[in-house]
Structure 1
């Protein structure tokens, strides 16, 4: 069987497919396995702790892992080595999550498109129908990741502390999250995955989208992402290339994305909440 993984910083979804293209076991979920920010020992422990993964490990012939933090050589090799330790009979392929978004979003294997990821983190690439091109190197969530979950989580926490939230929103936000200063600083500076911690606060936006304050935050973030990332491919956009979006933030922010697309004049394509579903279709077609 083959094992396909959509690996984010917050969580990983694993789907096993048999030789007939059928799902072999129920979808498996583990904690995030971003090798750029999660220590090697914790990566290994997370995989080993999954009884479901260990139960099928010897039967897996191929592992296709698409993950956040797998865009540079060193973390990619670390994760590949760990996966090979547990899936000893498998050929292991590790690619950055952008490839997952491309394969999940495009309508045909050779379609040219700009593909964006708006999840815990954010990214934007151009797929020419064969190869992937990135004109901005990501420097991680502290300096980049506009319009991502961690970006919006940071904006909400800042606004709460700077007293910029409307009173009703402020009360609701404090009811949903522990906003004690020491607790926030502990999670940001003492824990291993601060970007996922920040992104956890972003869900609040989408259950309060009727608020003008919240709607403005979402739109402002999408505009920033458009100016800094999407417009890097203006030449391609001017030629009518569509812009596809993957990830929960994009999926729940479709209205704001379409509004910003109209402002900046680019064509919106597909929205995919969970790339794993599109990845399964892709690999079944290519068995």
Structure 2
């Protein structure tokens, strides 16, 4: 019995191949049907995943991904997975359900993703019962990597951040305003591009203006997402690179907003492995 599990964001996909004797973890570029068509997804699977899998035929596939909402989007993944792995036992669902299963298992709670994008939900131990729509990197994604990167770039170019920090940022990434506008408005995956600058925030978190920037982005996530569930003293779980790297700020703000953080993980895949090992 062989099971393939995937947790995919826009930047990276974490895979785990579980056999009777071992589990093998693999990373590939992200897959998001909002930004990639079926042929592009199939090509990525053929080039990045298949060469790394040395196993007997796969019996079950569980794919949780950003953008996997609605039948048409899920079919963009189902068809190439079915064709390449010759199994019809394929579950395709949102990365949010994957995060909830990873973080909460069979217990209820509020599950949150803070990575390249952001999302949250109420989870009853089996299914998502309510979701405040994240609305993507243009209309929402508060507290995410792309929202942090967008705010950093904007504050630098508008002269809001100190001159020294702005020059340090532009010099570190060899950027001009023209370069930035080209990448954001004319090239593919602007959300990934914006999120790629969050390490600069982490490296300079001791600068008061940088810390304030991060706190304000997180406050927007609490106020425009978590508070809307209207559950006082709720248990909240976080996963994702942004939650992990800025967990000290996240934990402090959670207390201010009356939430109880139960756990913060860097990636959902480890929790998903535990979840499905109890099933198969």
Q: TM-score range by the shorter chain?
A: over 0.9
Q: Is the 8 A contact 2:170 2:176 kept in 1?
A: no
Who is 2:257 aligned against? 264
Q: Equivalent residue for 2:139?
A: 143
1:273 equivalent in structure 2: 266
- What is the TM-score with the length of structure 2 in the denominator? 0.93
Count of matched residue positions in the alignment of Structure 1 and Structure 2: 279
Trace 1:173-212 onto structure 2 (pairs within 5 A).
173-212=169-208
- CA deviations 1:194-232 (Å, max 9, x no partner) are 111111111211111111111111111111100110011
**How far does residue 256 in structure 1 lie from its aligned partner after superposition?**
1.2
- By how many angstroms is 1:53 displaced? 4.6
* Residue-by-residue CA offset, 1:11-57 (whole Å, 9 max, x unaligned): 1111111024x21x4x2211110111223322121111126456447
Counterpart CA distance in 1 for 2:183 and 2:204 is: 24
TM-aligned CA distance change 1:114 to 1:53, over 3 Å: farther
SS at match of 1:63: strand
Runs of 4+ more than 3 Å apart: 51-58
Give the aligned partner of residue 66 of structure 2: 68
Q: Name which of 239, 243, 246 aligns with 2:236.
A: 243
Which runs of no fewer than 5 residues in structure 1 stay unpaired? none
Residue pair 1:147, 1:221 contacting (<8 A) in 2 also: yes
Q: 1:113 to 1:53 in 2, by over 3 A?
A: farther
Corresponding residue number in structure 1 for 2:5: 4
Q: Could you tell me how far 1:178 is from its partner in structure 2?
A: 3.6
Are positions 1:104 and 2:102 aligned together? yes
State the Cα deviation string for residues 88-141 of structure 1 (Å, max 9, x = none): 1352111100112112212x51x1101110000000100022320234233211
CA-to-partner distance for each residue in 1:42-77, whole Å, 9 max, x for gaps?
Answer: 212111112645644762211111111112322112
Change (3 A) 1:60 1:54: farther
Measure how far apart 1:189 and its partner are: 2.5
Structure 1 counterpart of 2:17: 16
Q: Find 1:45's aligned residue among 21, 43, 46.
A: 43
The alignment's TM-score, normalised by the length of structure 1, stands at: 0.91
Task: Give the SS at the match of 2:80.
Answer: helix
User: Which residue in 2 is equivalent to 1:31?
Assistant: 29
CA gap of 1:78–1:264, structure 2 versus 1, over 3 A, is: same
Root mean square deviation, CA, Å = 1.8
Determine the structure 2 residue equivalent to 1:82: 80
String of CA shifts for 1:119-177, please: whole Å, max 9, x gaps: 00000100022320234233211000001000001001101110112233222211222
Structure 2 distance, partners of 1:53, 1:9, is: 21
Distance (Å, rounded) in 1 between the aligned partners of 2:177 and 2:275: 45
Q: Deviations over 1:227-259 (max 9, x none)?
A: 110011123xx2x43011010101111111122
**For residues 184 and 39 of structure 1, what CA distance do their matches in structure 2 show?**
26
Query: Could you tell me how far apart the structure 1 residues matched to 2:185 and 2:37 are?
Result: 15
Which digits, 9 at most, give the CA deviation of each residue in 1:267-286, with x for residues without a partner?
Answer: 11110101111111111111
SS state at 1:50 partner:
helix
1:133 partner SS: strand
1:170 aligned onto 2:166: yes
